[in-house]
Structure 1
Amino acid sequence: MTLRTTTGTEPRTPRPESTARSFARLGKLDVYDYYLSILVAAAAVLVPISAAQQGTAPMLVLFLLGEIATIVALVAFDDVTGFRDGSDTANYGPNDPLRKKLRKPLVAGTLTERQALRFGWITAGAGAVLWTAAVAIAPHRPTWAVVLVAATYAIALQYSYGLKLSYRGLQEAFLVALGTVLVLAPFALSTGQFSGFVLVQALLFGNGVLMFGVYSNTNDVDGDRAVDRPTVAALTSERGNALFIGALSLAEFLLGAAASVTGIAPWWFVLLMLPATALRTTQYYLGFRRGDIMRARKLGFRVHRTSVALLIAANLLVAGGA
């Protein structure tokens, strides 16, 4: 919520905080949901542990660290661009009491643009080194998986900076692709194989990542339109955006159902995922029937974490012979 003076009418300067805390906010380190991908991949390759190939665990650790560094760089550059074009100031300004200005250190004034850029490039460099090391020690290095990792890294740095791909209509596609690669690539580097079932899990994980974005975009539509950032929410009407997010929510269920029916996943997979489906339905109801987008966005984290827990459970059941 917006900090105000005792008169309740004027914005108050955010309370100073440590530089380290501001950098953590810049990197969105409290939003760990992207990094849960490694748990899904690990459950698919490390159980039973006796069957895991040598070097798999260290590779997974390096891949996770590289993933964190790369995404931290991505969001830092995103904040720099959002600060420069004024969209973050609009979305996190005094007229939006639901957003916390300190979450945007450049808007709050707790970091300078130069500090943010330096932080972004340092973490980007760390991401490149860590992912290169992960590939180097991986038990397997299928070409398609290595290409996926390299392409994801390169595109991540261009998401809102450089080529600004998210400003060219590619935001939603990139987010689902990012989540998918973060599950599929470490699996392939561990096993050298492609798995249809793991691809389904990766797509479900990617859709969960995407859903954070589309609900945020629904709230940020005015700021995005002001800077010509072409998200679906900014390009369509309220009804069109609601239909788009409804279709994504339905597609999530249908993907699991189709995988179970076709044998790509075990027959029980769609049933196992029903708790996540129910929560996703509740999220849509809150956002587009009750009109509480920010509460719906917050619920999205719970939906995603529930989905991740169920995907891990599915891999453990498969490993156990279910």
Structure 2
Amino acid sequence: MSQQTALGPAGVSGRGDLAAYARLAKLDIYDYYLGLLVVWALLASAVRWKPQTLGLLALTLVAEVVVVAAMVGFDDVTGYRDGSDAANYGSDAARRRLARKPLVAGTLTEAQALRFSWAATVLGSALWAAVVALAPHRPVWAVVLAAVCVAASVQYSWGLKISYRGFQELFLIGLGVGWTLVPYGLLTGGASGFVIMQAVLFGSGPMLFGLYSNTNDADGDRAAGRITVATLVSAPAHRVFVAAMTGAQVVLVAGATVTGVAPWWFAVAMVPLVAMRLAQLVIGFRGDILRARRIAIHAHRVTVVLLVAADLTAGALS
């Protein structure tokens, strides 16, 4: 009996319908795409509503969605092959929605997932090339960073298998930083300290909720040979690491305000974020990792709302 038949629910064939492909692409996880809202709010009011600006942001959104579809598609194939997805999702399917892993659930075949991922890789690369070609500015750093983000995304769990080589946490924050700085740089030609600070703050959000996933998945990842901080250190040491990364967000906000990189009121505007981060730490330390992860996801989305509001306010006051 094949692995897919054994793991898939009774009576389900790998027919590959649109819903299964949507789950493979993880279209319900849109957190990286929210950075474009921050980019839009950071733009000068004279630029923000230009049709060319909105058009480029829309094209960038499509390019990001397609590249992420390739990334998570390859990730699912790798996780299916090494058994880590079956180990990490099969034991808690009710809370982690086994259907989100269509290979393990048996709603897609490995061949279908691979074809989808390669097609998304080609299309996503072409779309990013179009974004760069149509941009009003093309600073070298933004073009190079865009290429690095695309290449690293596709090889997150495939090719170089970045997430298996000990660079997962760095990738999770780096992609968010890159996908904030690149479109801003292509639209304006540069990036101030205030913009860079917000890119780092935004990028740290996916990294933080990824840390809670890694905590929950440590045993399965370790068995599959996936190197993360959670697989290398003890559970108490990883809790300290999570706390340190959470504290770094708070320090970033406070430091930007104290040094004048951000307006004096910026730290006050971010107080709701600090409260949510403290709540997720307490809940996570008490052992409810998946609930802490959900709070971390919501905290990231609240961060976006707060940054957009702060940027619009800063623009109105300038």
TM-score by length of 1: 0.92
Please, which of 142, 149, 152 is the counterpart of residue 149 of structure 2?
Answer: 152
Q: 1:201 Cα shift?
A: 0.6
Other-structure match for 1:206: 203
SS at match of 1:220: helix
Whether contact under 8 Å (1:43, 1:315) holds in the other structure is: yes
What is the RMSD computed on CA atoms of the aligned residues?
1.9
Q: 1:136 Cα shift?
A: 0.7
Other-structure match for 2:122: 125
Could you tell me which runs of 5 or more consecutive residues in structure 1 were left unpaired when the two chains were aligned.
1-10
Return structure 1 stretches of 4+ with deviation > 6 angstroms: 14-18, 51-54
Instruction: Output aligned runs, 1:68-217, within 5 Å.
Output: 68-94=65-91, 97-217=94-214
- Give me the whole-angstrom Cα distance separating, in 2, the residues matched to 1:228 and 1:200: 34
Q: 1:13 Cα shift?
A: 3.3
1:31 aligns to 2:29 (yes or no) = yes
Other-structure match for 2:279: 282
Could you tell me which runs of 5 or more consecutive residues in structure 2 were left unpaired when the two chains were aligned.
1-7
Whether contact under 8 Å (2:9, 2:106) holds in the other structure is: no
Whether contact under 8 Å (2:74, 2:157) holds in the other structure is: yes
Q: 1:155 Cα shift?
A: 1.1
Instruction: Output aligned runs, 1:221-260, within 5 Å.
Output: 221-260=218-257
Task: Provide the aligned length of Structure 1 versus Structure 2.
Answer: 311
Other-structure match for 1:22: 20
Deviates more, 1:52-61 or 1:197-206: 52-61
- Give me the whole-angstrom Cα distance separating, in 1, the residues matched to 2:9 and 2:49: 55
- Give me the whole-angstrom Cα distance separating, in 1, the residues matched to 2:162 and 2:47: 43
Whether contact under 8 Å (1:76, 1:120) holds in the other structure is: yes
- AA in 2 matched with 1:156: S
For each residue in 1:75-101, what CA deviation from the matched residue of structure 2 results, as whole angstroms up to 9, or x when unmatched? Answer: 110000000001001111146653322
SS at match of 1:162: coil
Q: 1:314 Cα shift?
A: 1.2
Other-structure match for 1:7: none
Whether contact under 8 Å (1:53, 1:139) holds in the other structure is: no
Whether contact under 8 Å (1:70, 1:124) holds in the other structure is: yes
SS at match of 2:95: coil
- Give me the whole-angstrom Cα distance separating, in 1, the residues matched to 2:48 and 2:156: 38
Whether contact under 8 Å (2:266, 2:310) holds in the other structure is: yes
Percent sequence identity is 51
Other-structure match for 2:294: 298
The alpha-carbon distance between structure 1 residues 51 and 30, as it changes in their structure 2 partners (threshold 3 A), is closer
Larger helix fraction of residues: 2
- AA in 2 matched with 1:315: D
